[in-house]
Structure 1
Amino acid sequence: MSEERIERDFMNRDEQERRAFLEQTWCDKCLQENLGMKEPAEYEYKGIVFIEGKCNQCGEIVLTELTDEEF
């Protein structure tokens, strides 16, 4: 299992799936859900897939960890 961040292409996901990941978010700074994210980046780290972006409201990092059912 790799200890390095492996970049993945978020745009390879279908449009409906991308939209769901971009809209269904939680921001730890705003303490609100579904504010959305911009500038998404998908990567794998230690065998776990993440989608990371910036909160549409405050600009802080928003991180989604994908479970096996999600990818």
Structure 2
Amino acid sequence: MQDDRTERDFSVRSEEEQQAFLQETWCDHCQEANLGMKNPREYLYKGVVFIEGECKRCGNVVLTELTEDDF
């Protein structure tokens, strides 16, 4: 449901925060942590903030759901 997404600007996060989100990942396809992601997009969907990108190893979608602890 792309229409329900509200795009957010990932680049306004601090460099430290961006690097943490780009490196601390989980890829469902590779079944491995911290492979990294590229081409991040941040958006709000149904009140939840997500950062979505591509696994640096396999290229499949990597999705990070932010919790209140991440803010």
Do the two structures share a fold, i.e. TM-score over 0.5?
A: yes
Residues matched between the structures, number:
69
Q: Which runs of 5+ in 1 are unaligned?
A: none
Corresponding residue for 1:5? 5
Instruction: Give the alignment's TM-score, normalised by structure 2.
Output: 0.94
| Displacement after TM superposition at 1:69 (Å) | 1.7
Corresponding residue for 2:53? 53
Q: Classify the secondary structure of the residue corresponding to 2:63.
A: strand
Q: Classify the secondary structure of the residue corresponding to 1:17.
A: helix
Corresponding residue for 1:63? 63
Q: Which runs of 5+ in 2 are unaligned?
A: none
What letter is aligned with 1:40?
P
| Displacement after TM superposition at 1:40 (Å) | 0.1
Moved runs in structure 1, 4+ residues, more than 4 A?
A: none
1:15-67 Cα deviation digits (max 9, x unpaired): 00000000000000000000000000000000000000000000000000000
CA RMSD, 1 decimal? 1.0
